[in-house]
Chain A
Amino acid sequence: MKFASRLVSYDPAPGDRFRPIATPIYQTATFEQEHVDSFGEYDYSRSGNPTRTVLEKHLALLENGTRGFCFSSGMAAISSVTKLLRSGDEILADSDLYGGTCRLFSKVLDRGGIVARYANATDPESFEQQMTPATRLIHVESPTNPLLRVVDLRRIADLAHAHGALLCVDNSAMSPYLQNPLDLGADIVLHSATKFLCGHHDVTAGVVVVKDEKLAEQIYFVQNAEGNALAPFDCFLLLRGMKTLKLRVDCQQRNARKIAQFLAGHRDIKRVYFPGLSEDPGYDLQRSQARGPGSVMSFTTGSVELSKAIAESAELFRITVSFGSVNSSISLPGTMSHASVPPEVLAHRELPLDLVRISVGIEDEEDLVADLDHAIHEASARALVATGAEFLR
């Protein structure tokens, strides 16, 4: 079955006696037991809930894994994966990493004696040199956030396995529709489902999918032991949002390609970071491992002030963190989503302060281009006036 069909053709309520077309919301904390000494399939919603089961099974299938787990946020999902590590273990992560993940790795895990190191995963040779015998987990995003670098996932998977480490890929920017890291050799794929999977900015959720049954047992143990599984109502909303994943992403990508071309041709834009442009260094690799470039991109202007003014002058592109929603958004990662990167980590990574990240929604492509065109024009004029005032003073 093709992806579009798989998205909607799952059993929404296995075993349900009424056969509803939408999954029932089991908004319940506990379940009655038939006998005192044996439990049914469900006993307590932290441990398992029928609404969540439908979602988790559906996601496992979409990512070509065997088991899926849903958490109360993307960070909760990432944090749960790190529970596979012990004191003394090391994480090697790509240096262009979401700020929140960076904060978790460097400011929380260190208290448990886990060391996080960062290196540029788009350069596998030097990346490999950072592996130590203690490296247990490699964590990458691809394309990365916010520089949209493409990491060779097959290569990094081989490298991880050669050193006895696990590869975990944050697939939030792609969704299972565009990329399936488990098929490329990753051991764990995770998502901030808040992004494309949900698509409507009405749920905060995280997903982990694995293939290996032993790994699945360990993740389940953490989910149950720590109690950060996704709530039933959020599971329902996510199931609902995911039905239109392909429709949304198809439209977002179409719009994104138009916008990337517009930006690449604009004289006030210095550089566009988007693996959908044929001149982008990640273009060929992206085509070899994913089914599209996605709809998140970044660009620089050469001036922090100008970048700020563009974000503030845009109207359809709203200033928000997060991405992947039906609404277009615009942000300055250096001061927003990646402000939580510890300074000592920041010193070793490339994060231009004038970098603008946009997430393209499903609005009309002409309106979106016109909005950016107007915002850049407005911002440039403002910058010119400011320069003039400076000159006169």
Chain B
Amino acid sequence: MEIALSTQDLHDSTVAIHGGRTLDSHASSILFPLYQTSTFVHDAVGVDKGFSYSRVSNPTVDALEKAIGALEATPPAVCFRTGMAAVTTLFLSVLKSGDHAVLSDVVYGGTMRLFREVLDSLGITSSFVDTSDPANVEAAITPATRIVFIETPGNPTLKLTDIQAVSRIARRHSILLAVDNTFLTPLLQKPLQLGADISVLSTTKYIDGHNATVGGSLATHDEALLERFRLIRKTIGTTQAPFEAWLTLQGMKTLPARLRLHCEGAAVIARWLEDHPAVERVYYPGLDSFPQKSLAEKQQRAPGAMIAFELKGGLETATRALNTVQLCSRAESLGGLETLITHPSSTTHADLDPDLRRKLGISDGLIRLSVGLEAPEDIIADLEQAFAAAACVGATEEVSHEIR
């Protein structure tokens, strides 16, 4: 029994819980079972019940794909072992030797590495451009270009790209537009409604939300593309595992509630950072000082919960502050319940040429914060003591008192 209501009539918070609901006809369990099995018995030669081998498809993974599809308002999505497996499958599905891709210069470092280390040697070329100005996309497109891949907000400085504007360019050139929507999820930004062809998610982040799994997904309205993704996934074996899918299904039920809290906390912390004398600059799309605030309001439903900021005093101060935090965890990844703090120039973007890093605004004093669900006051107190210890500024008695 499938849920009778069309998910289009439901609110996002309902869809997150019921969107992938596929009641198990055998036992009617309220949660979809975990099919931890590699293979399925065939009724007769060539006759199966829709599942044959878990690398190709699995009922539990299927349930997750329906759930993500419902959130994306598309047919069931295609789920992968990791976000990078999703991205890899995407490019292998649409590009061949001689083809060219245009990408945001702020995409995740792993996506850059994929081109540099893997796709390059297959004869696939790429241009990484500042897509915050759509004219740069237009200029980078060649007759060999097959796809434009953007990430907005970009990592780590949250630079935005106008999805609608870029989609018009892609359409005019009859090439695909894929948007990595990991920072916002379909609840806060709907790339497909803004003209993109493919929505990419690292489900590891907000979708799971509990730092319990790694995974990725591709969603599109294009049935032929979906078939192509499934074919390539089956061929290179990048399918999500049943247990990871089951945990992700459970985690995403609270996505709307979590995102609301994540964003509330981030807004409070961003404003506090902006007023702090030790902070040189804050990047957060919800602040009036954010240069692309109007674009954020146009294409996002909320500013999100990622913040980047620069401390006065550069590398040394930033390192000291990072080493002194207690509540915030020094860890890569983002979007989980726990607040994570990272130093992009030495971690996520360490592989990049220093000149390019500077061009992207990734100074040595830049710190990225994935705001978790702790009380914002506690995170602020933690940062305050870390800033004080790093001697960015003498925290006065008054300030410390006020915070506690």
Which residues on B sit within 8 Å (CB–CB) of A261? none
Q: With A and B bound together, what is the CA distance between A19 and B50 in angstroms? A: 10
State whether the Cβ of B128 lies closer than 8 Å to any Cβ in chain A: no
**Chain A residue at minimal CB-CB distance from B42:** A19
Identify A31's interface contact among B30, B35, B59, CB under 8 A.
Answer: B30
Contact call A24/B30, Cβ cutoff below 8 A: no
| A30: chain B residues within 8 A (beta carbon) | 29-30
Give the chain A neighbours of B38 by CB distance below 8 A: 21-22
Q: Complex formed: what's the CA distance from A33 to B29 in Å?
A: 9
Q: Are B25 and A26 in contact (CB under 8 A)?
A: no
**Are B43 and A22 in touch, CB under 8 angstroms?**
no
A25 to chain B, nearest CB (A): 4
B-facing mask of A22-44, CB < 8 A → 1, else 0? Answer: 11111111111110000011100
Report if A17 contacts B (CB, 8 A): yes
* B19-59 Cβ-contact flags toward A at 8 Å (1 or 0): 00001011111110111111111110000111100000001
Q: Are the CB atoms of A19 and B49 closer together than 8 Å?
A: yes
A51-B34 Cα distance, complex, nearest whole Å: 10
C-alpha spacing A31/B27, complex, angstroms: 7
Does B246 count as interface, using CB distance less than 8 angstroms? yes
Do A22 and B36 touch (CB < 8 A)? Answer: yes
> How many residues of chain A get a CB closer than 8 Å to chain B's CBs?
27
Q: Could you give 16 example pairs across A and B, Cβ below 8 Å?
A: A15-B26, A17-B25, A17-B26, A20-B39, A20-B41, A24-B33, A25-B35, A26-B29, A27-B31, A27-B34, A29-B31, A30-B30, A31-B29, A32-B23, A33-B28, A51-B33
- Nearest CB of chain B from residue A118's CB, rounded to whole Å: 44
B26 nearest CB across to chain A (Å): 5
Q: Which of B26, B27, B33, B37 contacts A21 (CB 8 A)?
A: B37
**Interface majority SS (helix, strand, loop, mixed), chain A:** loop
Known contacts A24-B36, A24-B37, A27-B246: does B30 contact A19 (CB below 8 Å)? no
Q: Which of A17, A21, A50, A236 contacts B29 (CB 8 A)?
A: A50
Q: Does the CB pair A26–B41 fall under 8 Å?
A: no
Which residues of chain A are near B50, meaning CB under 8 Å? Answer: 18
Q: Are B26 and A50 in contact (CB under 8 A)?
A: yes
Contacts of B42 in A (CB 8 A): 19
- Hey, which chain B residues are within 8 Å of A350, CB to CB? none
Bound complex: CA A133 to CA B78 (Å): 69
Contacts of A16 in B (CB 8 A): 26
- Complex contact A22–B37 (CB within 8 A): yes
B246 cross-chain contacts in A, Cβ below 8 A = 25, 27
Beyond the given A19-B49, A27-B246, please list 4 additional residue pairs across the A-B interface where CB-CB is below 8 A: A19-B43, A20-B35, A32-B23, A236-B36
| A223 shortest CB reach to chain B, Å | 18
State how many angstroms separate the Cβ of B377 from the closest Cβ of chain A. 35
Instruction: Contact check, B28 vs A29: say whether CB atoms are below 8 A apart.
Output: no
**For the complex, what is the distance from the CA of A23 to the CA of B36, rounded to whole Å?**
7
Q: Which residues does chain B contribute within 8 Å of A26, judged by CB atoms?
A: 27, 29, 31, 33-34
Bound CA–CA A21/B23 (angstroms): 20
Residues of B within 8 A of A (CB): 23, 25-31, 33-43, 48-51, 59, 246
Least CB distance from B73 to A in Å reads 25
The 4 closest A-B pairs by CB, nearest first: A22-B37, A25-B34, A20-B37, A28-B31
Residue of A nearest to B243 (CB): A25
Contact residue among A17, A18, A32, A41 (Cβ-Cβ distance under 8 Å from B30) = A32
A41→B28 CA distance, assembly (Å): 9
- Which B-chain residue is minimally distant from A51 (CB atoms)? B33
Q: Interface residues, chain A, CB within 8 Å of chain B?
A: 12, 15-34, 40-42, 50-51, 236
Q: How far is the CA of A219 from the CA of B133 in the complex (A)?
A: 72
Chain A hits for B28, CB < 8 A:
31-34, 40, 42
Q: How far is the CA of A12 from the CA of B35 in the complex (A)?
A: 11
CA distance A18 to B51 in the complex (A): 6
Q: Shortest CB–CB separation between residue B134 and chain A, in angstroms?
A: 47
- B31 CB to nearest chain A CB (Å): 4
Q: Of B37, B39, B246, which is in contact with the most chain A CB atoms at under 10 Å from its CB?
A: B37
Complex contacts, A22 vs chain B, CB 8 Å: 35-38
Which residues of A have CB within 8 Å of B35?
Answer: 18, 20, 22, 24-25
Q: Of A15, A26, A30, A236, which is in contact with the most chain B CB atoms at under 10 Å from its CB?
A: A26
Contact A42 B49 (CB under 8 A): no
Chain A residues, CB < 8 A from B48: 19
Residue of A nearest to B60 (CB): A24
Give the chain B neighbours of A25 by CB distance below 8 A.
33-36, 246
B27, A18: Cβ atoms under 8 Å? no
Known: A27-B34, A32-B28. A21 touches B49 (CB 8 A): no
Of listed A18, A19, A32, A34, residue having the most chain B CB within 10 A: A18
User: What CA separation (Å) do A50 and B32 show in the bound complex?
Assistant: 12
Q: Is the CB of A40 within 8 A of B27?
A: yes
Contacting residues, chain B, for A31 (C-beta < 8 A): 27-30
Question: Is there an interface contact between A42 and B33, defined as CB atoms closer than 8 Å?
Answer: no
Are B33 and A28 neighbours in the complex by a CB distance under 8 Å?
A: yes
How far, in angstroms, from A291 to B170 measured CA to CA in the complex?
74
For residue A33, which residues in chain B have a CB less than 8 angstroms away from its CB? Answer: 28
From B23, B30, B42, B246, residue with most partner A Cβ within 10 Å: B30
Residues in B whose Cβ lies below 8 Å from that of A23: 37
Q: In the complex where A28-B31, A31-B29 touch, is A18 in contact with B59 (Cβ < 8 A)?
A: yes
Report the Cα distance A30→B36, complex, angstroms.
20
With the chains together, A17 CA to B40 CA distance in Å? 10
Whole-angstrom distance from the CB of B6 to the nearest CB of chain A? 20
CA gap between A27 and B27 in the complex, in Å: 12
Known: A27-B246, A31-B28, A32-B23. Is A19-B33 also a contact (CB below 8 A)?
no
